[in-house]
Amino acid sequence: MSPSVFPVDPQAPDPALLEAAGAQVRAGNLVAFATETVYGLGADATNPDAVARIFEAKGRPPTNPLIVHVADVEGARACVAQWPEPADRLSRFWPGPLTLVLPRSPRIAEAVSAGLETVGIRVPASKAALGLIRQAGRPIAAPSANRSNRTSPTRAEHILKDAEFARKIAVVLDSGPTSAGIESTVLDLSQGPPYRVLRPGPLTAEFLAGATGLPIESAPADAPGLSPGQLSIHYAPTTPTAWVERGELARFPWPARSVLVLLGPIEPGTLTPELPPTHPLPDPNHAESALFDLLHRLDAADLDLIAISPPPDEPAWRAVRDRVRRATGRG
């Protein structure tokens, strides 16, 4: 079966449609919905059978834990065994693209945490997501709504184009493109201080530390096994995708049907007639919101190669560099 697609207004989602989708969550079925980062594949986080359906649909290794989505701080406290003081200070970024890893409450199905004693929690900043959580009356476990290791969806079409995957989903709430476009920052509060960012995202360690006064460190790019989901190949298009440094562009052996995604500043002399069709993304915030949609479109264009020239190694580009390293297998 293919999913029911409910078009909803991102500013004022129809309560009747949210209620119908919420009923599917309560019944143990999968509902895809937009957060501000990427689309999530949601299920009742308190129902082990529903959670198992997420792993099955994605082909996700059972060792990779899921993020639980709640509507407010009260909902978050109901999912954890402890609520330390730093969580209070950091929860001011909710709703928003920040996941806090905290000790798990027994109320959350064990499979959500993939065997860990902790659970990742966040309050997403999208009316469709918040309305769905409230109507479901349950915390919603939701990874990105893509097959394991593939590019995350930032539009409902990205989910629906994979019919074999989409048929596992009961309802897709289509509220249009997401705004942030790259997955949340995952911050571990279950260990430390200092507290470590396990996955870089829209909110950098430097920003969070400055805003809260807490000792928060970004994980080194090559730290092994920080977050179970930080595998070396992830977010990957099905088209061959390569990391090409600026200095290699001139002598790169371009196959016939190549494209180049140029991230970061365009120095004079970078763009030469020898380069394949080029998609520049010079601004880090715009690159975060546009990268996955661009990769989905290029992946559908029957190309021999998607080359990505990486942005500078700077905090503002850390999340994009992380996703590009994994999409190109440099992880």
For ligand TXA, the binding residues (CB under 6 A) are 35, 37-38, 40, 64-67, 97, 99, 101, 113, 116, 118-120, 124, 142-144, 183-184, 186, 198-199, 227-230
CB of 113 to ligand TXA, least distance (A): 5
The end-to-end CA distance of the chain, in Å, is: 36
Q: Are 45 and 35 in contact (CB under 8 A)?
A: no
Q: What angle do CA 308, 318, 36 make, to 5 degrees?
A: 95
Q: Which is nearer to ligand TXA, 32 or 261 (CB)?
A: 32
CB of 200 to Mg ion, least distance (A): 14
CB of 226 to ligand TXA, least distance (A): 8
Pick the piece of the chain touching Mg ion (CB under 5 A) from 93-101, 144-152, 201-209, 237-245: 144-152
Q: Which is nearer to ligand TXA, 118 or 204 (CB)?
A: 118
Strand ranges (E), the chain: 4-7, 31-34, 39-44, 67-69, 98-103, 118-122, 140-141, 171-174, 185-188, 195-199, 216-218, 241-243, 258-263, 278-281, 305-309
| Number of amino acids touching Mg ion (CB under 5 A) | 1
CB of 37 to ligand TXA, least distance (A): 3
Q: Which is nearer to ligand TXA, 126 or 309 (CB)?
A: 126
CB of 305 to ligand TXA, least distance (A): 26
Pick the piece of the chain touching Mg ion (CB under 5 A) from 91-99, 102-110, 136-144, 278-286: 136-144
CB of 315 to ligand TXA, least distance (A): 19
Q: Which is nearer to ligand TXA, 102 or 214 (CB)?
A: 102
Q: Which is nearer to ligand TXA, 166 or 305 (CB)?
A: 166
CB of 107 to ligand TXA, least distance (A): 15
| Residue nearest to ligand TXA according to CB distances in the complex | 229
Question: Hunting for tokens 């994979």 — which residue is that?
Answer: 162
Helix, strand, or coil (residue 62): coil
CB of 112 to ligand TXA, least distance (A): 8
User: If contact means CB under 5 to 8 A according to the sort of partner, which of ligand TXA, Mg ion, none does residue 216 touch?
Assistant: none
Written as six digits, the tokens of 274 are 């020898």
Out of 144, 154, 230, 289, point to the residue binding Mg ion (CB under 5 A).
144
Q: Which is nearer to Mg ion, 68 or 305 (CB)?
A: 68
Q: For residues 48-73, b (16+ Cβ closer than 10 Å) or e, as one string?
A: eebbebbbebbebeeebbbbbbbbeb
Which amino acid makes up residue 92? Answer: R
Q: Give the closest residue to 28 by CA, choosing from 41, 42, 43.
A: 43
User: If contact means CB under 5 to 8 A according to the sort of partner, which of Mg ion, ligand TXA, none does residue 29 touch?
Assistant: none
- How far apart are alpha carbons 310 and 12 in whole angstroms? 38
- How far apart are alpha carbons 91 and 98 in whole angstroms? 9
Q: Which is nearer to Mg ion, 35 or 47 (CB)?
A: 35
CB count in 10 Å sphere of residue 18: 25
User: If contact means CB under 5 to 8 A according to the sort of partner, which of ligand TXA, Mg ion, none does residue 44 touch?
Assistant: none
- How far apart are alpha carbons 105 and 75 in whole angstroms? 12
Q: Which is nearer to Mg ion, 54 or 133 (CB)?
A: 54
Helix axes 127-136, 15-26, angle to 10 degrees: 50
Give the interface with Mg ion as residue ranges (CB under 5 A).
144
